[in-house]
């Protein structure tokens, strides 16, 4: 699958592409239930610092509070974090209390439950509703939680919601209490929802080990998959309720492929857990890196004839293996895991990252070809995992830690954070495994045991280093270690480098080993299954690494800077990990060494031209590395800044890729563009778009070094994030590009952005935003169709019925009629009769092969007569009718057949001429498992069927006539399958 096709999957959350499902069958609206879930991201008031008095009371004066939307950070900060002098203990930056308030109208049905759901908040949260304290959340700032506010709200009226967030330093909430190499930004930084449910409801997944919905795949292969769904429901009413749980597996086209149903009585005040198992054994579509096919699992809870609750989760059919001597395998195929570590932070907004920017990161990872992302060092936003599901990227996730331990309450909450992380993200097919250690310190037994108790289907990793702690996986499943100092793989163990450094130029912090070197080392050893660089992006820390911006860590191995502008490492990853896309790239100064020119390419040879003249044509600089790498580096003995350079990549002696890096002239104009990866352009009040102003010379070459001060102005329903007080607007940045962040408004329309700088021609860019909805379920739950699918096995009353087929036990030689119930509940009338001879209803045994019980029995007539199958009560449309015609005899008895149809497209239409039936019965099976009679016949009976396209008109009827093409033999009909035809292309 092409990268373009993979990236199109990111539209599935918004557009619900329905593929081959017939538009006439597909409902225009998704199903609904008594549950509602509304986004509360818009319309808050904010107070920085601890407000005096009782700010949770309805009459409190908030005239000086700031209107804000979520996600929201405690305070916008400069790229150097307001020049904070904090060290890694972070004693002052964002270490404060803040308040949020808003009114909320509640319109619930009598008896319904009302909840506030939080994806995360930093880091101790207190909630008041209408002046009454509801509760406190203090487990971590990175895990989801909810409050039941049913007894605190006034139904049919406005209600006051007040939140107090406390991000002051504490040794009771992980990862806080000691030092850490990242920043604990404050604020209500993730999404908040109002959830209203029936008293009989599906529980929140993080409530308990047995809560919510847990989907597992006990067995998966390319041909079939077994799926188990555990669903816990709660009856918060005052009487028992009879509950029916219907779980549907839905393919990417919106068609239900499996349905599981179970009924139970749920006592008042009690939970009940349904355990349903079913599967898919036809047209299985696996989830993979190149083709991340997603099914949906739709769960409906039905009581008193109504759908009272509903949820939907993704399902990716895949399996992981660690195979000795081979390495990591996805769906049985070995593959090296190559990717990066990700922090969720962005400039100015810190952790307050909207969903579209989480998708932005994932899309960029996919463009680089990465297939594994370690989520450092805490649980990440749901939106990022949604994106990895859709794009085909694995993640390794861990609870919030960094090196240090805390007191017992800290450890208890760390374990609970891990449990909530697993419960929240266990249904994402992108999750490969769980970190069961403390970063740098290695494995922690209680974390491993907790992870296995919550999710025994995935591996655990030890999170170790080479300078402290066990030098092996310990109790965990995988030795995941930082490889900054040449990690040694324990004998007989797999090794995953959860961190490493290395650029494409010299990397003094790791000696002589650059990024291609370390990747080559891992690709050459199947026991070293993969590696994740530190880090994907330049990020924030108080370790004071950078002389210019001490609180911004610029990593040698980073593929993007903090604003997600590509660095040279990005182009190497793209060349190495997307070898089917020939490319060549001359990196800027960050990927060069003095006196030479480094070229990145996945081609066989590279030519370098200086000022239009050929310098040399060369192969890889290190032929030994070229044996395992797709993109070994190419080096030329000419200074990279000597003039205008052009690199040409050659395969089989032909130029297939070209890149030019000209020495720029004086700055002349600004080229401005929105980053398309930050779309879709929704007017939701939360999304933040990024635009880049390239400062160019007259010929369009981007200038080197820092940009001048670039001023941005926006016209339309949007606002610029930050101002001159934090260096956000105007802004100066490096390598000729100035970034700006734009927050969408809540009104759809044209957003026009202008970038200007003194003495330069300005640049302009425009986007059109579209309306957004706060109805979360309408965004996430898409329509589906249950197809009219019918499978009928024909024979006499002694027949062996094929598994999950409907039996037609006939014995009347004059013919019979029957009414069958299709998969979607439709009643279809069918009749069988003969012309020219009586029907013979048969049964036998001993026919080997797939569908053998269906093909061993039949209804038949001799040659010269015909079998007539009539179908009635069909809805209008196009259908595929598959019919099987196996002969229990030798080749000469399997006379070819002619098939004719009467339907809306015409009478006596010829649909098959000379169709060759399969044959054979009771073959002798040899020691090798093959037969000496009937080979090519009985064993192929399932796969050789006659397929007929039926056109059904208003009368809902069609007739199939089956005749022998010759005068000898007989005509058999073993069974038939009917289902809607795919939409015409």
* Alpha-carbon Rg for the chain in angstroms: 32
Higher pLDDT pick, 919 / 488: 488
Three-state secondary structure readout of 275-308: EEEEEECCCCCCECCCCECCEEEEEEEEECCEEE
Distances (CA, A) of 742 to 45, 189, 347, 708, 752: 20, 17, 12, 20, 11
Instruction: Report yes or no: 398 and 435 within 8 Å, Cβ to Cβ.
Output: yes
Residue 985 included in any domain: no
β partners of residue 58: none
The answer on 740 and 674 residing in a single domain is: yes
Residue 131 confidence (pLDDT) above 60? yes
The answer on 529 and 410 residing in a single domain is: yes
Residue 13 confidence (pLDDT) above 80? no
Share above pLDDT 70 across residues of the chain, in percent, rounded to a whole number: 95
The answer on 673 and 627 residing in a single domain is: no
Extended beta strands in 873-919, E state: 877-884, 897-903, 906-915
Report d(CA 344, CA 172) in Å as an integer.
Answer: 23
Report d(CA 618, CA 634) in Å as an integer.
Answer: 7
Tens of pLDDT, residues 648-701: 999 999 999 999 999 999 999 999 999 999 999 999 999 999 999 999 999 999
Q: How many domains does the chain have?
A: 6
Residue 567 included in any domain: no
The answer on 700 and 600 residing in a single domain is: no
| Residue 666, Cβ density class (10 Å: 0-12 exposed, 13-18 middle, ≥19 buried) | exposed
Residue 743 included in any domain: yes
Residue 652 included in any domain: yes
Give mean pLDDT, residues 959-980: 95
How confident is the model at residue 747, as a pLDDT?
A: 98
Report d(CA 553, CA 541) in Å as an integer.
Answer: 6
**For 255-269, 296-310, 501-515, 546-560, which range has the lowest pLDDT when averaged over its residues?**
501-515
Tens of pLDDT, residues 415-424: 999 999 999 9
Residue 927: pLDDT band with limits 50, 70, 90: very low
How far is CA 579 from its chain centroid? 23
How confident is the model at residue 922, as a pLDDT?
A: 56
How confident is the model at residue 848, as a pLDDT?
A: 78
Structure tokens at 924: 């002798």
**For 95-99, 507-511, 764-768, which range has the lowest pLDDT when averaged over its residues?**
507-511
The answer on 310 and 295 residing in a single domain is: yes
The answer on 866 and 774 residing in a single domain is: no
Give the count of beta carbons closer than 10 Å to the beta carbon of residue 764: 14
How confident is the model at residue 869, as a pLDDT?
A: 98
Share above pLDDT 90 across residues of the chain, in percent, rounded to a whole number: 89
**For 18-27, 267-276, 379-388, which range has the lowest pLDDT when averaged over its residues?**
18-27
Tens of pLDDT, residues 817-834: 999 999 999 999 999 999
**Residue 973: partners with Cβ closer than 8 Å, 6 or more residues away:** 794, 832, 858, 859, 860, 867, 869, 883, 884, 885, 962
DSSP character string of 575-633: HHH-TTS--EE---GGG--TTSEEEEESSSEEEEEETTEEEEEE--S-HHHHTT-SS--
Residue 746 included in any domain: yes
Higher pLDDT pick, 26 / 641: 641
How confident is the model at residue 26, as a pLDDT?
A: 83
Give the count of beta carbons closer than 10 Å to the beta carbon of residue 363: 22
Strand pairing category for 372-375 and 337-342: parallel
DSSP class of residue 942?
A: T
Burial call 395-410: b when 16+ CB within 10 Å, e when fewer: bbbbbbbbbbbbeeeb
The answer on 207 and 194 residing in a single domain is: no
Give mean pLDDT, residues 534-552: 97
Residue 922 included in any domain: yes
How confident is the model at residue 931, as a pLDDT?
A: 39
Backbone angles phi, psi at 126, to 5 degrees: -115, 140
CATH number for the domain that contains residue 364: 3.20.20.80
Give the count of beta carbons closer than 10 Å to the beta carbon of residue 277: 12
**Residue 357 DSSP SS3:** helix
DSSP character string of 775-817: BHHHHH----B----EEEEEE-TTPPPPTT-EEEE---TT-EE
Residue 206 confidence (pLDDT) above 80? yes
Tens of pLDDT, residues 671-682: 999 999 999 999
Domain ranges, residue 364: 336-557
Give the count of beta carbons closer than 10 Å to the beta carbon of residue 63: 5
Among candidate residues 722, 747, 780, the one where a domain is terminated:
780
Report d(CA 370, CA 394) in Å as an integer.
Answer: 9
What's this model's pTM, rounded to 2 decimal places? 0.95
The answer on 719 and 593 residing in a single domain is: no
Tens of pLDDT, residues 55-82: 999 999 999 999 999 999 999 999 999 9
Give mean pLDDT, residues 322-329: 98
Instruction: Report yes or no: 863 and 969 within 8 Å, Cβ to Cβ.
Output: yes
How confident is the model at residue 12, as a pLDDT?
A: 40
Of residues 275, 293, 273, 292, the one with CA closest to residue 283 = 293
Strand pairing category for 479-482 and 213-220: unpaired
Residue 8 confidence (pLDDT) above 60? no
Residue 891: pLDDT band with limits 50, 70, 90: confident
The answer on 675 and 658 residing in a single domain is: no
How confident is the model at residue 984, as a pLDDT?
A: 72
How confident is the model at residue 11, as a pLDDT?
A: 43
Q: What value does the mean pLDDT of the chain take? A: 94
The answer on 469 and 431 residing in a single domain is: yes
Helices (H) then strands (E): counts for the chain: 11, 63
Residue 982: pLDDT band with limits 50, 70, 90: confident
Higher pLDDT pick, 924 / 393: 393
Residue 769 confidence (pLDDT) above 60? yes
Report d(CA 921, CA 933) in Å as an integer.
Answer: 8
Of residues 699, 693, 671, the one with CA closest to residue 738 = 693
Angle at 483 between CA 482 and CA 487, to 5 degrees: 110
Residue 571 included in any domain: no
Residue 373 confidence (pLDDT) above 60? yes
Residue 534 confidence (pLDDT) above 50? yes
Give the count of beta carbons closer than 10 Å to the beta carbon of residue 105: 12
Residue 602 confidence (pLDDT) above 80? yes
How confident is the model at residue 323, as a pLDDT?
A: 98
Among candidate residues 619, 645, 663, the one where a domain is terminated:
663
How confident is the model at residue 506, as a pLDDT?
A: 59
Instruction: Report yes or no: 857 and 799 within 8 Å, Cβ to Cβ.
Output: yes
Distances (CA, A) of 156 to 131, 499, 534: 18, 53, 52
Residue 929 confidence (pLDDT) above 80? no
Residue 7: pLDDT band with limits 50, 70, 90: low
How confident is the model at residue 510, as a pLDDT?
A: 40
How confident is the model at residue 24, as a pLDDT?
A: 54
DSSP character string of 565-577: -B-HHHHHHHHHH
How confident is the model at residue 933, as a pLDDT?
A: 45
Residue 18 confidence (pLDDT) above 50? no
| Residue 614, Cβ density class (10 Å: 0-12 exposed, 13-18 middle, ≥19 buried) | exposed
Residue 464 confidence (pLDDT) above 70? yes
How confident is the model at residue 938, as a pLDDT?
A: 57
The answer on 966 and 901 residing in a single domain is: yes
The answer on 168 and 70 residing in a single domain is: yes
How confident is the model at residue 942, as a pLDDT?
A: 75
Report d(CA 794, CA 815) in Å as an integer.
Answer: 12
How confident is the model at residue 936, as a pLDDT?
A: 42
Residue 27: pLDDT band with limits 50, 70, 90: confident
Residue 846: pLDDT band with limits 50, 70, 90: confident
Residue 570 included in any domain: no
Residue 20 confidence (pLDDT) above 50? no
How far is CA 782 from its chain centroid? 16
Say how many Å lie between the first and final Cα of the chain, rounded: 20
Among candidate residues 144, 170, 199, the one where a domain is terminated:
199
Most confident by average pLDDT, 404-408, 506-510, 831-835: 831-835
For residue 288, the number of C-alpha atoms closer than 13 Å in the C-beta half-sphere is 17
**Residue 179: partners with Cβ closer than 8 Å, 6 or more residues away:** 87, 88, 89, 402, 403, 404
Residue 31 confidence (pLDDT) above 80? yes
Residue 508 confidence (pLDDT) above 70? no
Backbone angles phi, psi at 172, to 5 degrees: -110, -10
**Residue 205: partners with Cβ closer than 8 Å, 6 or more residues away:** 211, 212, 213, 214, 423, 424, 426
Find the Cα–Cα–Cα–Cα dihedral 18, 20, 22, 26, rounded to 10°.
-20
**For 318-332, 499-513, 862-876, which range has the lowest pLDDT when averaged over its residues?**
499-513
CATH number for the domain that contains residue 622: 2.60.40.10
Residue 935 confidence (pLDDT) above 70? no
């Amino acid at each position: 699958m092409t990268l373009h096709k993979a990236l199109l999957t990111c539209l599935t959350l918004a557009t619900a592409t329905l593929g081959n499902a017939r538009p006439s069958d597909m409902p225009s609206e998704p199903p609904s239930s008594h549950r509602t879930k509304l986004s509360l991201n818009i319309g808050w008031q904010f107070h920085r610092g601890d407000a005096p008095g009782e700010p949770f009371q309805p009459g409190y004066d908030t005239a000086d509070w700031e209107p804000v939307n979520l996600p929201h950070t405690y305070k916008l900060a400069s790229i150097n974090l307001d020049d904070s002098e904090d060290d890694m203990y972070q004693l002052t930056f964002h270490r404060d209390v803040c308040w949020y308030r808003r009114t909320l109208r509640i319109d619930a049905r009598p008896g319904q439950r009302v909840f506030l759901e939080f994806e995360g908040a930093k880091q101790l949260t207190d909630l008041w509703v209408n002046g009454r304290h509801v509760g406190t959340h203090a487990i971590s700032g990175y895990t989801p939680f909810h409050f039941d506010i049913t007894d605190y709200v006034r139904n049919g009226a406005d209600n006051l919601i007040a939140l107090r967030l406390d991000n002051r330093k504490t040794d009771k909430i992980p990862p806080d209490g000691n030092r850490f190499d990242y920043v604990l930004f404050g604020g209500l930084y993730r999404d908040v929802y109002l959830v209203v449910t029936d008293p009989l409801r599906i529980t929140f997944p993080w409530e308990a080990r047995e809560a919510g919905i847990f989907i597992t795949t006990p067995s998966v292969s390319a041909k079939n998959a077994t799926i188990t769904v555990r669903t816990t429901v709660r009856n918060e009413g005052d009487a028992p309720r009879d509950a029916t749980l219907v779980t549907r597996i839905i393919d990417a086209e919106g068609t239900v492929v499996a349905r599981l149903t179970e009924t139970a009585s749920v006592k008042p005040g009690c939970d009940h857990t349904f355990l349903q198992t079913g599967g898919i054994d036809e047209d299985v579509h696996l989830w993979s890196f190149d083709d991340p096919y997603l099914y949906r699992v739709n769960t409906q809870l039905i009581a008193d004839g109504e759908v009272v609750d509903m949820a939907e989760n993704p399902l990716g059919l895949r399996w992981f293996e660690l195979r000795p001597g081979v390495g990591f395998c996805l769906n049985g195929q070995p593959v090296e895991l190559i990717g990066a570590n990700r922090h969720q932070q962005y400039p100015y907004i810190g952790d307050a990252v909207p969903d579209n920017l989480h998708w932005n990161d994932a899309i960029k990872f996919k463009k680089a070809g990465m297939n594994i992302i370690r989520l450092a060092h805490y649980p990440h936003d749901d939106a990022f995992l949604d994106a990895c599901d859709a794009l085909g990227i694995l993640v390794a996730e861990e609870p919030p830690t960094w090196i240090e331990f805390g007191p017992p309450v800290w450890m208890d909450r760390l374990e609970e954070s891990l449990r909530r992380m697993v419960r929240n993200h266990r249904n994402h097919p992108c999750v490969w495994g769980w970190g069961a250690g403390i970063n740098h310190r290695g494995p922690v037994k209680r974390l491993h045991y907790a992870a296995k108790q919550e999710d025994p289907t995935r591996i655990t990793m030890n999170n170790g280093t080479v300078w402290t702690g066990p030098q092996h996986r310990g109790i965990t499943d995988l030795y995941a270690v930082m490889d900054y100092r040449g990690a040694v793989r324990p004998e007989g163990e797999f090794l995953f480098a959860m961190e490493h450094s290395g650029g494409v130029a010299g990397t003094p912090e790791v000696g002589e080993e650059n990024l291609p070197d370390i990747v080559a080392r891992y690709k050459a050893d199947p026991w070293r299954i993969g590696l994740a660089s530190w880090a994907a992006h330049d990020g924030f820390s108080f370790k004071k690494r950078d002389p210019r911006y001490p609180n911004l860590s610029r990593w040698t191995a980073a593929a993007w800077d903090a604003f997600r502008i590509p660095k040279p490492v990005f182009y190497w990853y793209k060349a190495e990990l997307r070898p089917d896309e020939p490319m060549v790239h001359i990196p800027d100064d960050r990927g060069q060494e003095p006196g030479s020119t480094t070229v990145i390419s996945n081609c066989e040879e590279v030519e370098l031209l200086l000022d239009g003249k050929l310098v040399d044509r060369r192969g890889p600089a290190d032929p030994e590395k070229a044996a395992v790498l797709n993109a070994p580096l190419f080096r030329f003995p000419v200074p990279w800044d000597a003039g205008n350079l052009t690199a040409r990549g050659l395969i089989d002696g032909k130029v297939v890729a070209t890149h030019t890096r000209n020495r720029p002239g004086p700055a002349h104009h600004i080229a401005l563009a929105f980053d398309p990866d930050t779309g879709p352009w929704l007017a939701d009040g939360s999304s933040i778009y990024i635009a880049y102003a390239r400062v160019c010379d007259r010929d369009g070459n981007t200038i080197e070094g820092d940009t001048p001060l670039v001023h941005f102005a926006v016209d339309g329903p949007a606002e610029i994030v930050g101002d001159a007080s934090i260096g956000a607007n105007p802004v100066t940045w490096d390598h000729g590009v100035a970034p700006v962040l734009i927050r969408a408004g809540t009104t759809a329309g044209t957003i026009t952005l202008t970038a200007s700088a003194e003495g330069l021609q300005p640049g302009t860019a425009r986007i059109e935003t579209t309306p957004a909805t706060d109805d979360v379920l309408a965004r996430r739950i898409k329509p589906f169709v249950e197809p009219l699918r019918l499978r009928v096995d024909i024979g006499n009353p002694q027949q062996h019925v094929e598994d999950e087929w409907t039996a037609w036990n006939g014995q009347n030689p004059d013919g019979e009629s029957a009414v069958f119930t299709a998969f979607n509940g439709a009643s279809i009338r069918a009749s069988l009769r003969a012309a020219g001879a009586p029907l013979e209803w048969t049964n036998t045994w001993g026919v080997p092969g797939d569908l053998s019980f269906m093909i061993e029995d039949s209804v038949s007539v001799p040659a010269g007569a015909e079998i007539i199958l009539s179908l009635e009560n069909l809805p209008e449309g196009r259908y595929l009718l598959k019919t099987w015609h196996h002969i229990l005899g030798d080749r000469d008895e399997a006379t070819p057949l002619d098939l004719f149809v009467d339907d809306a497209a015409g009478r006596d239409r010829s649909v098959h001429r000379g169709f060759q039936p399969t044959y054979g019965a009771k073959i002798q099976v040899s020691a090798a498992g093959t037969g000496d009679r009937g080979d090519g016949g009985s064993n192929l009976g399932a796969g050789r069927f006659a397929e007929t396209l039926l056109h059904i008109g208003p009368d809902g009827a069609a007739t199939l006539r089956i005749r022998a093409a010759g005068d000898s033999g007989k005509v058999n009909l073993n069974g038939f399958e009917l289902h809607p035809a795919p939409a015409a292309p």
